Amino acid sequence: MTTRRAATMAGTLAAFALAAAGCLPAPATVEAHRTADLYTVFVAVAAVVAVIVIGLSVYAILRYRARGDESVPRQVRGSTRLETIWTGLPLLTVAVLFGLTVLVLNGFDDATRAAATVDIRVSAFRWGWRFEYPADGVRVEGIRKPGPEAYVPVGENVHVTLTGEDVIHAFFVPQFLFKKDAVPGRVNTFAFTVDAPGRYGGQCAEFCGIYHSQMPFTIVAVTRPEYEAWLAANRGTQAGASRPAGSIAPAASGGAAESPSGGPAQ
């Protein structure tokens, strides 16, 4: 393989890796930036591995292809050096990636254990979400599209307590690069810090029935004064849409929720 051909192949693979990395949503939280950095490392390592594997394969195919005679190339058997390299390097690579992954995951746990300035209790049900701010007497609830809007202050640690009321749901905001299941009878916790004002759409990411696709919500990140104003405007009241007539209520214990047509929900 010529140097130019090898350079062309490496450039093509690098471009593909960059294009794949660009498909990720722009991270919007401190924790998401760490996850994005980890993804970048994984993509870079994968690109290097691809260049090595494909490069060596193409080199071997071209260098030792049939040349019109029946001669057999010199055979190499029992090379301790080669076996050490192709065993040691993959093990070392996996170990490094594993260690980096543990560090990122521990960062999520550290955020959960850190002192929080905002505490939100989130409940998922078919087919909506409820966000409660117990310290401020605010509740936000919404059924199906467009879903409820929960406000959080920018640059502050937001602690979330998550559960489900009927079946398993999942709290997922693509730009947070994070997903957590909402399981009935179980409480899950996590935390995040949004680093820029904006509206970040979320969605239930665990198939939960016929209207699974209609369980959106929005996290609205604002400055602290705007957040305080929103709390004051909604304190003691329920913001957002409540359960409208004919909507699907959470299934009672031992029973099934009904669909708008009167039959059991899926």
Using alpha carbons, list the distances in angstroms from residue 239 to 134, 138, 148, 204, 230: 14, 7, 8, 20, 10
- Give the Cα separation of 207 and 212 in Å (integer): 6
- Give the Cα separation of 134 and 173 in Å (integer): 22
Partners of 219 in the beta sheet?
150, 200
Residue with tokens 């260690």: 99
pTM over 0.75: no
User: Which whole number is the average pLDDT over 45-62?
Assistant: 87
Rg (CA), the chain: 26
DSSP secondary structure letters along 163-223: EESSS-EEEEEGGGTEEEEE-BT--EEEEE-B-S-EEEEEEE-S--STTGGG-EEEEEEE-
For residue 146, say if its preceding peptide bond is cis, omega within 30 degrees of 0: yes
List, for residues 78-128, the tens digit of each pLDDT value: 778 888 988 999 999 999 999 999 999 998 888 888 888 899 999 999 989
List, for residues 143-154, the tens digit of each pLDDT value: 888 889 999 999
Q: What is the pLDDT of residue 191?
A: 93
First CA to last CA distance, the chain: 58
